[in-house]
Amino acid sequence: MKKVKALVLMSGGLDSMLAAKVLMEQGIEVKALTFVSSFFNAEQSRESAKKIGVELIEYDFMKDHLEMVKKPKHGYGKNMNPCIDCHGLMVRKSLELMKKEGFDFIATGEVLGQRPKSQNKSALNLVEKYGEYEGFLLRPLSAKLLPETRMEKEGLVNREKLFDIQGRNRERQFALAKKYDIKEYPAPGGGCILTYSEYSNKLRVLLEKWPDANNNDVDFLRAGRVFWADDIMIVVGRNSEDNEKIEKLANDKDLIFDLELETGPLVLVRDKRNTKFKKFVKIELDIPKEMDLDKYPENKDAVIEKAAMMTGYFATKVRGQKISVILK
């Protein structure tokens, strides 16, 4: 008899781990699938998949996800998190992979009523319809509260061994974790940076300035302090890790400034209009003790000089001194 194969969407949280274990307990062959974008990575999912002993497939959908985030059909949550459209896009990509790789169905760790906006019955139905392959999606933790699926009707999955968990109380999930000997798992939420107000505000500004922003542009929002001179972006590294990110993300049209003789931040300047700036190899600058970081000159070359000056300003030990700034 052919072994039933399921593809479980793995967020890395406890619910998706439990969904996989519930199916594995029925003898179903399970592989986990996680998605990678500019707003979340696979690190948590790797750890969780390893803990429950399943192979993890990592799917990069950065470009498609960013385009969806710009104009989500069903709007945003509290911040810039388009949860319904995000889950729907994941389901659609999962179903495409399911058909290509010969899985029988996909499953998620979604729990009815756990998140009022994105996990009510109406939202769960929308997510499945978004996927364009209705009837192949199973939610093992809340299955008994939802209509019987094709997989249950055909005997691929035993409905009696599924669950009727709902709401935000997680006591039943904790009990299942104990049953399956899952001792460590991350707290709910926190994986997607779009749920954070500070980051969402920065992203809104970026998309207002650059509606055609790509993933590389967006990635700079997590590479340092971000300032705007009209529609020119200035990124200041906060530490050595940021400096490494800035160098890695920069292209040959960007300007990157560094201190010649002192340790300090890298400062990157990016102009999407590809303005030709007056370039220099090295410049001597008097670094002020105080600087208005919200005000920039209209003259583009003056903007560049101020950005170069910020290289010294954010290396606080050289404020009030004359220093050399080089163009990397």
Which has the higher per-residue pLDDT, 21 or 327? 21
Q: What pLDDT score was predicted for residue 266? A: 96
The CATH number given to whatever domain includes residue 89 is 3.40.50.620
Residue given tokens 């906006």 in the structure block: 117
For residues 149, 186, 192 and 39, what is the CA-based torsion angle, rounded to 10 degrees? -110
Domain count of the chain?
A: 2
Say yes or no to pLDDT of 276 above 70. Answer: no
Q: pLDDT for 242-256, tens place per residue?
A: 999 999 999 988 999
Least confident of 30-34, 154-158, 318-322: 318-322
| pLDDT, position 116 | 53
- Boundary-marking domain end, from 193, 212, 241: 193
210: in domain: no
- Express each pLDDT in 95-138 by its tens digit: 999 999 999 999 999 898 866 554 555 555 555 555 555 678 99
Does the pLDDT of residue 201 top 70, yes or no?
A: yes
Q: Residue 35: what pLDDT?
A: 96
Residues 162, 233, single domain; the answer is no
pLDDT of residue 279: 66
How confident is the model at residue 123, as a pLDDT?
53
> Which of 192 and 216 is assigned the larger pLDDT?
216
Domain assignment present for residue 217? The answer is: no
Query: Does some domain include residue 295?
Result: yes
What pTM does this model have?
Answer: 0.85
- Same domain, residue pair 237 and 163: no
- pLDDT for 278 equals 60
The helix-helix angle for 121-130 and 83-101 (nearest 10°) equals 50
Q: What percent of the chain has pLDDT over 70?
A: 90
Q: Are residue 270 and residue 149 in the same domain, yes or no?
A: no
Q: Both 48 and 90 in a single domain?
A: yes
Assess if residue 34 is contained within a domain. yes
241 and 129 within one domain: no
> Is 49 in the same domain as 184?
yes
* pLDDT recorded at residue 299: 86
One domain, residues 13 and 133:
yes
Sequential DSSP letters for 135-176: T-EE-TTTGGGSPPPHHHHTTSS-GGGS---BSS--HHHHHH
Indicate if 42 and 150 belong to the same structural domain.
yes
Where does the pLDDT of residue 268 fall: very low under 50, low under 70, confident under 90, or very high at 90 and above?
very high
Q: Is residue 319 part of a domain?
A: yes
Which among 95, 88, 77 has a CA at the least distance from the CA of 135? 95
Residues 108 and 43 in one domain: yes
Which residues does residue 35 pair with via DSSP β-bridges, in sequence order? 59
> Could you tell me the residue range of the domain that residue 279 belongs to?
223-327
Q: Is residue 158 part of a domain?
A: yes
Assigned domain for 36 exists: yes
User: Are both 234 and 154 inside the same structural domain?
Assistant: no
Within this chain, do residues 178 and 231 fall inside the same structural domain, yes or no? no
pLDDT at 118: 47
End-to-end CA distance of the chain: 63
Using the predicted structure, report yes or no on whether residue 39 has a pLDDT greater than 90: yes
Identify the pLDDT of residue 69.
97
Domain assignment present for 202: no
Same domain, 155 and 239: no
